Amino acid sequence: MTAGGQDNRDKAQRVTMATVGRIAGVSQVTVSRALSDPSKVAPGTLRRIRAAVDATGFVPNALAGALASRRSHLVSALVPSIANLTYAAMIHAFGSSLRDAGYQMLLSETGASPEAEEHAVRLHLSRRPDAMMLTGVTHSAGARRALIGADIPVVELWDISESPVDFCVGFSHAEAGRAAAEFAVAQGYRRAAVIYADDERARRRKAAFASRFAALTGAEVADSPLHGAASLGAGRAGLSALLDGPGLGGGGVVFCSSDVAAQGALAEAQARGLSVPRDVAVIGFGDQDFAVDTVPPLTTVRVDRERLGRLAAQQLLARIEGTGTTETKYDLGFELIARASA
């Protein structure tokens, strides 16, 4: 059979609303009404239509319904990495809140590239979502124009800005870096280094930590960038480079851009027979579930990721329904959790 013949057979076998109506003994209009507003259809008729839907496996055309109602009940969500534990609880809370309200989340991974994010933004907008969530507040000019032109609610999560596209929910990464530096100095450390991932928010935390630590102690802060995604191996390699070079040869404190990298740093210190925090202290970021169970337990910066996700979803839903506030910035802050590693 030719490809054209196969296409014609597929079209002939495709179940439509009219097919469901014929099986149920009602008009296509009645089927449409039953699917969009069951309360307007008699109980007996509704049962026949539902039985026909079950028998045929019919799936309503959501796009057609969206064009009629101007609602797709889809919310787009873009994150740098779905493998990054830092975002997992936040995305779970965000998606769960949407589902509870009858919406579904359309999730894509963007990496750390502004160009990749812009491409994803344009692709998602072509699906006509009712709202969009972005991770962070730094975007390409093209992505920002597309978002503003779409005229839908947009939340930028995990960061704050004085000029968001619509509104943002997050915390100050610079303040988190400064708080870690102030804690380190208060603990008596006078040498410091940073192990950080190659993303814009981690770089801001690193810069703020280094600037504040230097201002308080007069000491320059060494750094060791991670190549690729944060991992135990990358954290080990980062601390190894610092210990083998001039950066941290005499000991001190290491501020890591994630708890995963910090766990790797702890493993490297232990592999070298170093005592933590006597020979080298470690501070993480994120307060992942495992942070309290590392050896020693990890000092880290806690961000309430579930609260971030829930609040972002709630405010997006309110804006979709036209009941949201005009607030443009929700700063949920952070907490430095002192444990035995520093």
pLDDT in tens, 187-225: 999 999 999 998 899 999 999 999 999 999 999 999 999
What is the mean predicted confidence (pLDDT) over 63-88? 77
**% residues pLDDT > 70 (the chain):** 92
What average pLDDT does range 159-166 have in this prediction?
A: 95
Query: Do the Cβ atoms of 81 and 109 come closer than 8 Å?
Result: yes
Check if the beta carbon of residue 156 is closer than 8 Å to that of residue 137. yes
Residue 254 β-bridge partners: 193, 282
pTM assigned to the model: 0.79
CA-derived radius of gyration, the chain: 26
Q: What CATH topology corresponds to 3-60?
A: 434 Repressor (Amino-terminal Domain) (1.10.260)
* Cα–Cα distance for residue pair 161/139, rounded to 1 Å: 12
* Buried-state track 67-78, b at ≥16 Cβ within 10 A, e below 16: eeeeebbbbbbb
**Residue 78 to residue 94: CA distance in whole angstroms:** 12
Return the pLDDT at 89. 92
Structure tokens at 308: 């971030």
Distance CA 127, CA 63 (A): 9
Q: What is the pLDDT of residue 84?
A: 82
Tell me whether the CATH fold assigned to 72-171+306-333 matches the one assigned to 173-302.
yes
> Which CATH code, of 3.40.190.10, 3.40.50.2300, 3.30.420.480, 3.40.1710.10, is assigned to 173-302?
3.40.50.2300
Question: What dotted CATH number matches 72-171+306-333?
Answer: 3.40.50.2300
Q: Where are the domains of the chain?
A: 3-60, 72-171+306-333, 173-302
Residues 6+ apart with CB under 8 A from 339: 291, 292, 296, 297, 298, 299, 300
Place of tokens 């337990």: 297
Ramachandran angles phi, psi of 246, nearest 5°: -80, -10
What does the DSSP 8-state code read for residue 258? S
Q: What digits encode the pLDDT tens for the residues 234-259?
A: 999 999 999 998 777 677 999 999 99
Distance CA 182, CA 212 (A): 7
More confident residue, 10 or 121: 121
The 10 Å Cβ neighbour count of residue 214 is 14
Cβ atoms within 10 Å, residue 1:
7
In this structure, are residues 289 and 297 in contact, taking their beta carbons and an 8 Å threshold? no
Whether residue 34 has pLDDT greater than 90: no
Centre a 10 Å sphere on the Cβ of residue 234 and count the other Cβ atoms it contains: 23
